Amino acid sequence: MQVLTRDLQRYNPYPSFRPGQVDAINAILDLVEEGQQIIECNVATAGGKSGIIYTTMLYLHEERDFDFLTYTSPQVQLVSDQLRKQFPDLPVLVGKGNYQCLVDSCMTAADCPFSMSEEGFIQCAMCPYRIDYRTFIESPYGATTFDRYLSDPSINGRCRGLFIDESATTEDKLLNRVDMLIPPEVDVDDLQNGLTVYYHKLVVEADRLEKIINELKGEAKKGSRKAMAELTDITKKYNHVSREARKCARCLGFLDRHVPYIIDENKHFRLIQGKALFEDMIKKLQFVVLASGTPTTALLTTDYRSVSTPNLIDVERRLIYYDPYAPGTKAVMKMNYQDREKWAPYMALKIAQYHAKYAIGKHTLVHCGTYGVANLIYNAFEKHAFAHHPLVPMDLFNNIVLQEGGALGRDRTMAKWIAGSNTILLAVERNEGISCDGPDYPLNIVANVFYPPYKDPWIAARNAFDGKLWYNTGIAVDVTQACSRCTRGPEDFSTAVICDGKFAGHFGQNRMLYPPYFREALRTV
């Protein structure tokens, strides 16, 4: 067979492959050579997605003469941190805003008025962005963030093969790029004409700002601080106007093609689904590989082939229990909007009991779904005496960490939770992008299965469009990912508990949207 002739270990960055990796790589290579354009790679936790992608990419370049292969992900940290550490020889390019300007500490590469073909200041020769960009462009393969890939024609225009790691949120990322606030002067009842006039105004303004920038460059290079300050300010305005013009042009294109959209209550132009965006993205690609442990490829297309790997973690090491019963009662806790205040004290006690059983002296991760639910449970620990169960240390409340909002707040509270001992993190949106592996993280609780607000105009339109496929797929992905945060490898072990009674109805009606490895691990208390 053909698969026996491929020397894959030659391109493996590790001493050996994990079980299932060779079969997955060979299956992807077979499909690429057959001419299959869209390939789904379903890899469960610990399956080694990044190793599969990296080895496949190198093999295609070295053995099949593929150039301009791009490894990308909607998760910025996966590209900026993880891939740099895992594969030191892989050129990595992230968004311009991540590179500090060497001329002005208040600027980043995103504010730079000079193009890559311009000499710029003396310091520009050592600009970390320019160095990364040139290294990336001159290499036959490299890694970049998904946003950067989509926005940079010098990258997406030449790419032949695209690998998207953690691809479950691909459609969300694509749709967010078309979300445009309709300006007050545009009549939504005459949208095409209104946006056309607005677009031409933006183009004229961008040309005007560009002329000013070119005039200021010479003065700034002579050392004029005033010119430098003006140049920075005008460049930011130019970038904003240019982005708005590109958004406007995309919206006009979709209007011409009669792609379904809505104008929501805040006057945002929003496409109802991302299929047209995905088709545009892959039009010139020879192939695209969508890799995830919770794939959502069916939301984007039906014309794909799937490759999967076995779950390498023994099922007994990653069991998921469904236990929605309020302590001391036979009542089922459903953390919906109407009843969540009623059940929050019982949920706090349930969390404390499970922490006492599995995680004393260690860490418990609690997925609260929303900040409202997280605050209710936090207050319940403090205010309700019965939350202090006889088996639970009386000082447990001092070790409850309530997640703060924003990226910095999430990172700060995450660090506080990890640095402590015997701590419980009431988390929001921590169901992906974090890895709590090892014996210090034995317990993972889903206190609230988050349902997106179905009365939201866009969600209502999407549900009517695809019969709630997007809606139910998103819930299944969130629950599956949340339950896998604390068992990350074959030797790891943790217990996951789903305590929200809403889960039963959703799982019963959408069982096949959950991956097989989730279904085999699920138990009912």
- Residue 377: the pLDDT is 95
Residue 2 has pLDDT above 50, yes or no: no
Residue 389 has pLDDT above 80, yes or no: no
- Domain 2-91+139-176+269-308 and domain 315-524, same fold? Reply is yes
Angstrom distance (rounded) from CA 235 to CA 218: 14
- Find all residues with CB under 8 Å of 475, minimum gap 6, and list them: 449, 450, 451, 452, 506, 510
| Per-residue pLDDT band at 395 (split at 50, 70, 90) | low
pLDDT tens per residue, range 280-330: 999 999 999 999 999 999 999 999 999 999 999 999 999 999 999 999 899
- Residue 393: the pLDDT is 61
pLDDT tens per residue, range 181-204: 999 999 999 999 999 999 999 999
pLDDT, mean of residues 231-242 = 93
Q: State the chain's mean pLDDT as an integer.
A: 93
- Of the given ranges (93-102, 104-113, 314-323), which has the lowest mean pLDDT? 104-113
- Residue 460: the pLDDT is 96
Q: What is the CATH number of domain 2-91+139-176+269-308?
A: 3.40.50.300
**Under 8 Å between Cβ of 483 and 444:** yes
Strand ranges in 272-407 using DSSP code E only, listed in sequence order: 287-292, 305-308, 320-322, 363-367, 400-402
Angstrom distance (rounded) from CA 430 to CA 484: 11
Which of 294, 291, 310 is closest to 18 using CA atoms? 310
Which of 491, 360, 487 is closest to 422 using CA atoms? 360
Q: How many CB atoms lie within 10 A of CB 55?
A: 25
pLDDT, mean of residues 461-478 = 96
Percent of the chain, pLDDT > 90? 83
- Residue 45: the pLDDT is 87
pLDDT tens per residue, range 257-275: 999 999 999 999 999 999 9
- Of the given ranges (25-29, 411-415, 499-503), which has the lowest mean pLDDT? 411-415
- Of the given ranges (3-17, 430-444, 462-476), which has the lowest mean pLDDT? 3-17
pLDDT tens per residue, range 328-362: 899 999 999 999 999 999 999 999 999 989 999 99
| Per-residue pLDDT band at 117 (split at 50, 70, 90) | confident
- Residue 228: the pLDDT is 85
pLDDT, mean of residues 222-233 = 85
pLDDT, mean of residues 211-226 = 87
Residue 456 has pLDDT above 50, yes or no: yes
Q: Reduced to 3 states, what is the DSSP secondary structure of residue 331? A: coil
Residue 487 has pLDDT above 80, yes or no: yes
**Under 8 Å between Cβ of 338 and 370:** no
Domain boundaries, the chain: 2-91+139-176+269-308, 183-264, 315-524
Give the helix, strand, coil percentages of the chain, each rounded to 5: 50, 15, 35
The Cα-based distances of 264 to 35, 179, 188, 191, 269 in angstroms read 40, 10, 11, 14, 7
pLDDT tens per residue, range 47-68: 999 999 999 999 999 999 999 9
- Of the given ranges (163-172, 228-237, 334-343), which has the lowest mean pLDDT? 228-237
pLDDT, mean of residues 95-100 = 92
Residue 157 has pLDDT above 70, yes or no: yes
| Per-residue pLDDT band at 119 (split at 50, 70, 90) | confident
184: DSSP letter: T
More confident residue, 33 or 1: 33
CATH superfamily, region 315-524 = P-loop containing nucleotide triphosphate hydrolases (3.40.50.300)
Q: How many CB atoms lie within 10 A of CB 103?
A: 16
| Per-residue pLDDT band at 3 (split at 50, 70, 90) | very low
Residue 366 has pLDDT above 80, yes or no: yes
